[in-house]
Structures are given as structure tokens and as C-alpha cells.
Chain A
Amino acid sequence: MSLVARHLEANGLPTVIVGSARDVVEYCGVPRFLFTDFPLGNPCGLPWDRSMQHAIVGQALGLLETADRPRTTVQAPFTWKADDPDWRGRYGRVDPAERDRLLAAGRKRREQQAAASELKKG
């Protein structure tokens, strides 16, 4: 999505990204970024929380209007669920006990990717 934002801006169309992978977006470099510090999947607010979603989208609109330079990041003023304080450690964590299973899954995945690549070549 960062690459798309850059292309749109380079062609004169202003953008604002709403997302939760701050390191990825800022490493690439984008014009305007509203960072929601949530698990990946709900950048526009907690599921079914219309009030929070309204606030986040409204803040993104404000950023679109007020940013005066590229690489402008603003953080949404919300924190993830209080009853789930351990979410940061969960995504993509490699459990050492799972290494053999992951290696086998990787082998299977590479075989599928090779087959798909052949198909795309036609």
C-alpha cells in the first residue's frame, strides 16, 4: 500500500494511509500516515466500535488536510483491549518447539509456489 500511496502522490493525488505496521510503512517512506497501534487487521478501529472508527477516520481526514510535508505520521489516541495486554508478542512469533513443523510447512509452500509460478508463465 505504501508503494501505491507514493505513486498516487507522485502523480498529484494526495493520500493518507491508515495502518498498524508502523515500521514497514515508515521504512518505505510515505507522505501521510495515521498509525493505529492495534494488532494487524483493524486499522480503522475495533470491530463494531462505530464511535472509535468515526474518530480514527476523522483523524485521517484531518491529517490529509493539515500535513505540510512528507513522512508525517500521527498516532491514533486508542489502545488495544485492556483484557489482552499480550497481543504485541503474538504475531509471527516462532516457537522453538515448532521449528520442525514450520520447516515442513515451508517446504510444502515452496513446492506450491513453484507450481504456481509455472502456471503464471503459461
Chain B
Amino acid sequence: MSQASKDKRDDARDIGIVSYMERTRQYYRALGYEQDYVWARFDDVPFAPLGKPLAAVRLGLVTTASPPGLGNRDTRGVRHVWSGEIAPPPATLFTDNLAWDKESTHTEDRESYLPIETASALAREGRFAGLASRFHGVPTEYSQRKTLSEDAPEVLARLRADGADAALLCAL
């Protein structure tokens, strides 16, 4: 298939949902990468029912943003799970290193991607019991192995330490 045909096909898809996987493949090929990224895919999906009424749930928040100053990187440049306080909420977080649509929008309003104050308002209204005292940041990694073996277990441990019953995960 010619590139023009592929572009046309992609445009047709864009009437509905944007095909980010195809966009990403085309972009990295244009950068000269010879191997396409292999996206994670699973046949089986785990499911944990909410074990108590929502009004009794303590909720943990998880973001893909980084702390200001990228303080979650160690001396070798490896990024790690990090945590921040809900109160007071951070004014801003670092998002420049993430793949979001920098031509169409901005991330100057932290609530648009990590809704601490919005969720707090919903808790005050009685929708759920309250937020855990910390939110947690998880690095977006090329390596699925690192996410599965290091970062995801660390997020789980921190949520459990906070007494969270469930988690709201907001992906930029």
C-alpha cells in the first residue's frame, strides 16, 4: 500500500477514534527506527469488584506526570515511582517529557490531568469517603518489564500503605 493510501486510510479512521498506535508506528518509522514498538496485549483481563459501597471507599490517585524538577530520577537517569501530598495539592507537575498533544492543548491546569481538588469536592459531597493522603506518580516506560516487575508493584505497595480501597488512574 502506498504512503498516500495509508494516510488516506488513517484520515478516514480519524472521523472516529484517533489511531494512536498507527500514528506512533508511522512517526517512529519516519525517525528511522527499524523495529515497530510492540504494544502490550492480553487475552485475559483481571477484575476486582468494589468490595464496599462507593460512599465508604478511600480512593488513591495515580498519575503519569513527573514531579517538578524531575526529582524521581536517580543518578543513572532511571525514573522511579514517586508520591506527593494531596494537601496542599501541587500547583503544577512536570509533563513536558510525556507524549501528549502539545499543538492542540496545554497542561497548565493540573486538574485537567490529576483532579485532586475535583475529587476532593466529590468526596465532600459524599460520593466516596475521601482521598488517600498521597497521590502516586508512575513513569511511562518503553520497557514493559520494568513497569510490570518494579513500578506496578511499588504503586500497589504505596496504595496499600495509604489504606486505599480503589484507585483512579489518570493517564495523560
> In the assembled complex, how far is the CB of residue B27 from the closest CB belonging to chain A, in whole angstroms?
5
- Find A71's partner among B45, B153, B165, B171 (CB 8 Å cutoff): B45
- Find A92's partner among B27, B109, B159 (CB 8 Å cutoff): B27
Q: Given A15-B167, A31-B46, A105-B31, is A122 in contact with B76 using a C-beta cutoff of 8 Å?
A: yes
Name, among B49, B57, B104, the residue most crowded by chain A CB atoms within 10 Å (CB to CB): B104
Q: Quick check: is B161 within 8 A (CB to CB) of the other chain?
A: no
B169 and A15 contacting across the interface, CB-CB below 8 Å = yes
- Find B14's partner among A2, A22, A89 (CB 8 Å cutoff): A89
The bracket for how many chain B residues form the interface is: 35 or more
Total A-B pairs, Cβ < 8 A = 254
A9 and B47 contacting across the interface, CB-CB below 8 Å = yes
The bracket for how many chain A residues form the interface is: 35 or more
A58 and B40 contacting across the interface, CB-CB below 8 Å = no
Contacts of B144 in A (CB 8 A): 3
Bound Cα distance A69, B57 (Å): 19
Bound Cα distance A71, B104 (Å): 29
What mask results when residues 15 to 48 of chain B are scored 1 for a CB within 8 Å of chain A, else 0? 1011111011011101111000001111111111
Q: Given A29-B41, A91-B23, is A42 in contact with B103 using a C-beta cutoff of 8 Å?
A: no
Contacts of B113 in A (CB 8 A): 41-44
- Find B23's partner among A39, A84, A92 (CB 8 Å cutoff): A92
Q: Quick check: is B99 within 8 A (CB to CB) of the other chain?
A: yes
The 6 closest A-B pairs by CB, nearest first: A106-B31, A41-B100, A7-B152, A39-B101, A70-B45, A47-B109
B108 and A47 contacting across the interface, CB-CB below 8 Å = yes
Bound Cα distance A102, B169 (Å): 33
- Find A12's partner among B24, B48, B119 (CB 8 Å cutoff): B48
Name, among A2, A25, A30, the residue most crowded by chain B CB atoms within 10 Å (CB to CB): A2
- Find B172's partner among A3, A40, A68, A70 (CB 8 Å cutoff): A40
B20 and A92 contacting across the interface, CB-CB below 8 Å = yes
A42 and B112 contacting across the interface, CB-CB below 8 Å = yes
Contacts of A89 in B (CB 8 A): 11, 14
- Find A17's partner among B102, B111, B171 (CB 8 Å cutoff): B171
B39 and A15 contacting across the interface, CB-CB below 8 Å = no
- Find A70's partner among B47, B78, B138 (CB 8 Å cutoff): B47
Q: Could you pull out 16 A-B pairs where Cβ atoms are within 8 angstroms?
A: A6-B42, A7-B153, A12-B48, A15-B168, A16-B169, A31-B45, A31-B48, A39-B104, A40-B172, A41-B100, A41-B101, A41-B172, A53-B112, A57-B168, A90-B101, A91-B23
Contacts of B77 in A (CB 8 A): 116, 119-120
